A = this chain, B = another copy of it.
Amino acid sequence: MPRMAPHPRDRPRGEAASPVTPHRLTVRVYYEDTDFSGVVYHASYLRFLERGRTEFLRALGIAHRGTFGNVGADGFHFVVRAMTIEFLKPALMDDELCVETHPSATRGASINMMQKIRRLGEVLLTAKVRIAIVAGGKVRRIPAGILAKLKASTGAGPHV
């Protein structure tokens, strides 16, 4: 279902090319995502962003169930610690949206991700998301294997 390859119309208009190509996921807007004002409900975008992060991690070989399974005392979970979101333009029923995700910084216990939602190239929403890894109810250092994958994906060191 996720479309991993960049799509021509997902390309930014009039923006300086980023040195790192973000991960892209296409999502469709359904009834469930809208509200009675006629457009997409604001919290629905957080679901779209989370799908984008999940597919970004899956593309790196980091699955949620399994590595971070809900079973056992040492199961890890990614948790959102902070978000800053700008809602620029509304999405509508039936829209096909592109969720862009790329890590901007990885530190010992947290990952920053920059995300955008576009429609036909136009940016509808920008978000900066701080993620942490939690195990046994406590924040943990990012395991070395995951850190290496994230660094490789940013094409840079841990403190980009």
Contact = CB atoms under 8 A, between A and B. Distances in A.
Contacts of A86: 81-82
Interface string A17-54: 00000000011101110111111011110110011001
A35 B38 CA distance: 7
A85 B87 contact: no
A119 interface: no
Contacts of A148: none
8 contacts: A1-B3, A30-B47, A31-B37, A31-B64, A35-B35, A37-B77, A65-B93, A82-B84
Interface of A: 1-3, 26-28, 30-32, 34-39, 41-44, 46-47, 50-51, 54, 58, 63-66, 70, 77, 79-87, 90, 92-94, 96
A132 to B, nearest CB: 9
A27 B1 contact: yes
B3 A31 contact: no
Contacts of A27: 1
Contacts of A1: 1-3, 26-28, 96
A41 B51 contact: no
A34 B32 contact: no
B36 A93 contact: yes
B82 A94 contact: no
Nearest to A95: B65
Nearest to A25: B1
A82 B87 contact: yes
A39 B92 CA distance: 16
